[in-house]
Structure 1
Amino acid sequence: MKVRQNLYIDRELSDALEALAAGTVGNKSRLVNDALADWLSRRGAKEIDDLLKLRLDRITREIEHARRDIEVLLESLSLFVRYQLMVTAPLPDADAAAVAVGRDRFEKFVAQVGRQLAAGKRTIGHDPDTGGAA
């Protein structure tokens, strides 16, 4: 069902519409109808884009904070590893018991990291004695 509308438009727009309708594109009603439908759909898309922009900006900020935290953790880890390698004397080759203890400690460490990650627990920022935030 179509509804009749009486609209006033500028002379320049009217002349351009008349010239466009004279071609093979269609009549003036169809041209105005299609143009208005396109404009309204873009307006709705703009509102959606505006809402998404806010969320994307928030997500971008969160990613930047996570990147900063990762950089701090990596730098801390690298400094710790470098320090440990510089101050810890290597084990003698003949000390198989010490090597076995080291291997066992490493396996327990890796297993604990796996358990922490699987449970979603964090050690950093939590007091190990109370289990709460530091």
Structure 2
Amino acid sequence: MKPRINVYLEYELLKKVEKFGAKTGLSKSGLVEIAVAQFLSPEGADKREAAIAKRLNQLTRQFGRLERDLAIQLEVTALYIQYYLTITPPIPIRDQKAARATGHERFENFLTHLGKRLSQGPSLSDKVVNDIKVREQDFFSIDLDDQNLEKKDD
């Protein structure tokens, strides 16, 4: 004979136990016994730990992709700003008021266009990043012929 214990459950949890028991044909006490046994078993802990580790790995990969995408977007923005500032001549003082008004109007148009673009679905940057297949060797390759030439010059 099994020892008897009294367990207090929240009403919502009790309803879930009753519903699951009715569906599976298990009694409430049998269902609670199985749940407690699984919760306390070392295999159950291993399964939970494995599930948590799997989810953490997924989140780590997602975070890595976000970091990569953000780095690419920041680099593109920085290069554009550098290019723009390099090629744009200064505006004469007499034309600055009109330039500000035009700039304000263009910026408002840009924000409107950006809002439409964001509401349409996949962004241009997502399409570009997914199209680019970058390998580590694309960044860190050494041309052996160049090394040999440098040694000969010394």
Q: Which of the five TM-score ranges fits, normalised by the shorter chain?
A: 0.5 to 0.7
Relative distance call for 1:98 and 1:60 in structure 2 (3 A) is: same
Relative distance call for 1:39 and 1:88 in structure 2 (3 A) is: closer
Pairwise CA distance, 1:67: 0.4
Number of corresponding residues: 96
Deviations 1:76-103 (A, max 9, x none): 1111101111210122222233332121
Does the 8 Å contact 2:38/2:44 carry over to 1? no
In structure 1, how many angstroms separate the alpha carbons of the residues matched to 2:114 and 2:102?
18
Amino acid at match of 1:99: R
Match of 2:115 in 1: 114
Give the structure-1-normalised TM-score.
0.57
Pairwise CA distance, 1:119: 4.5
Stretches of structure 1 lacking an aligned partner (at least 5 in a row): 4-36, 128-132
Stretches of structure 2 lacking an aligned partner (at least 5 in a row): 4-36, 132-154
In structure 2, how many angstroms separate the alpha carbons of the residues matched to 1:103 and 1:38?
64
Larger Rg: 1
Higher relative contact order (CA 8 A, sep 6+): 2
The reply to whether residue 44 of structure 1 matches residue 44 of structure 2 is yes
Amino acid at match of 1:114: G
Give the structure-2-normalised TM-score.
0.51
Pairwise CA distance, 1:59: 1.6
In structure 2, how many angstroms separate the alpha carbons of the residues matched to 1:54 and 1:94?
63
